[in-house]
Amino acid sequence: MLINLILMSFIVGSLGTGLGALIVLPFKPKNDGRFLYGFSSGFMLLVVMFDLIPSGVKISNMVVVISGIALGAVFVYAFHKILDRAYTHKNKIKISETGILLFVAIALHNFPEGVAIGAGFEMELRFALFISAVMAAHNIPEGMAMGISLYLGGEKKWKIIFYGMIAGIPTCIGALAGNLIAHIDQHFIGLGLGFASGAMLYVCLSELIPYSKRLSGSKFYISFTIGLIIGQIVLILCKNLI
């Protein structure tokens, strides 16, 4: 049971994000990056609004989730300000600021989702499988967005894949924690999912979407809409097949 949990959380977290980072490597970053940014931002925004937040509310309540969203957004905003200062004084930093923010946001939101998977294995297997499937699906475009940011920042290809897999490790840690303390206060999981949602919303709304619009102009709406549609299809398939 525990081995299956570790294997599933590893596939969902590390392999999902790593695969997303791997997918972008054959593309031409300056040209294809325009589509990938719009697609990834649309996909992630839909998953946050129609999966992470509703799941958090279902587990706990609206007040807890909104509090988590606020805390997550404030945390990433503060980290963003620290990065701004670093970039002001160190112009030779290779990794793009957006890539770093995405790495942090992905790692942050993977832990509470891992907790939900681990707890679900003890309490409600169907919910655990649903969260696992949705996480695996939306970790791929998250890895794509992070990968293209690091690619544009001049990082080596092997490092991009490595960062993608490292960002998924908190999923395994969270799954083990959730399994060991399966009867944990449900508000903790709801707060964690809210925190993750706030972190991803901040990165999407303040970084990915504005940057994609600057790159693509009016074409941004096409890739963004495709991301929304694919994200909705994935959610529907997960809900109906699991």
% of the chain beyond a pLDDT of 90: 5
Q: What is the pLDDT of residues 186-220, one digit of tens each?
A: 787 788 778 878 888 888 888 778 878 887 788 88
> How crowded is residue 230: how many other Cβ atoms within 10 Å of its Cβ?
16
**Residue 125: predicted pLDDT:** 67
Distance (Å, rounded) from C-alpha 64 to C-alpha 206?
A: 24
Distance (Å, rounded) from C-alpha 30 to C-alpha 37?
A: 11
**Residue 92: predicted pLDDT:** 41
Supply the pTM of this predicted model: 0.76
- Write out the DSSP string of the chain: -HHHHHHHHHIIIIIHHHHHHHHTTTS-HHHHHHHHHHHHHHHHHHHIIIIIHHHHHHHS-HHHHHHHHHHHHHHHHHHHHHHHHHHHH-TT--S-HHHHHHHHHHHHHHHHHHHHHHHHHHH-HHHHHHHHHHHHHHHHHHHHHHHHHHHHTT--HHHHHHHHHHHTHHHHHHHHHHHHTTTS-HHHHHHHHHHHHHHHHHHIIIIIHHHHHHHHGGGHHHHHHHHHHHHHHHHHHHHHH-
**Residue 4: predicted pLDDT:** 76
**pLDDT averaged over 10-residue windows placed end to end, the chain, 242 residues:** 77 83 75 75 87 85 92 86 65 58 78 74 69 77 82 80 86 81 70 82 84 80 90 81 66
> In a 3-state reduction of DSSP, which class is residue 175?
helix
**Residue 86: predicted pLDDT:** 64
The sign of the dihedral angle between the CA atoms of 195, 198, 204, 210 is: negative
**Residue 217: predicted pLDDT:** 80
Question: What token pair was written down for 146?
Answer: 């992070």
**Residue 2: predicted pLDDT:** 72
Distance (Å, rounded) from C-alpha 141 to C-alpha 44?
A: 7
Question: What token pair was written down for 78?
Answer: 């503060």
